[in-house]
């Protein structure tokens, strides 16, 4: 009987841990998105996973169906995709590249396997 209780207790902990980890992942993804646009007559901005930008989904807004990216408003998805702003944004990694904590070219490597010289004795 004691063994059954230990197994059930361990199983409960595993399920709880998995559930909490799944919730934490959702929070991270939302936190990684750029901030919603402000200062436009649109009360409902939605994230478009394909273009990695916001679009106005407020059918009462004069900007309904417009896309917002890096401070620019585009009247349609095709206008967004044809813009040099969008092409540059996507070539730099899109939302994940723009939210990262630094530039790729400015990174430095050190430690084991980095190819750096030095260490003990010079």
Q: What is the pLDDT of residues 13-38, one digit of tens each?
A: 444 444 444 554 444 355 578 889 98
Supply the pTM of this predicted model.
0.55
Question: Which residues of the chain are under the pLDDT cut of 70?
Answer: 1-31, 98-122
C-alpha 119/C-alpha 88 separation (Å) is: 40
Burial 45-65 (b: 16+ CB within 10 A, else e): beebeebbbbbbebeebebee
Backbone angles phi, psi at 116, to 5 degrees: -80, 150
| DSSP three-state, residue 54 | strand
Alpha helix positions (H), 1-122: 2-32, 77-81, 84-91, 94-99
């Amino acid at each position: 009987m004691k063994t059954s209780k230990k197994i059930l207790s361990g199983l409960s902990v595993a399920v709880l841990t998995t559930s909490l980890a799944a919730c934490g992942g959702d929070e991270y993804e939302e936190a990684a998105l750029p901030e919603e646009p402000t200062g436009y007559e649109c009360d409902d901005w939605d994230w478009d996973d394909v273009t990695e930008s916001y679009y106005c989904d407020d059918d009462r807004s004069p900007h309904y169906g417009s896309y917002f990216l890096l401070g620019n408003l585009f009247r349609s998805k095709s206008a967004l995709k044809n813009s040099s702003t969008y092409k540059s944004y996507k070539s730099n990694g899109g939302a994940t590249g723009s939210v990262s904590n630094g530039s790729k070219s400015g990174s430095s490597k050190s430690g084991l396997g980095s190819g750096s010289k030095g260490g003990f004795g010079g």
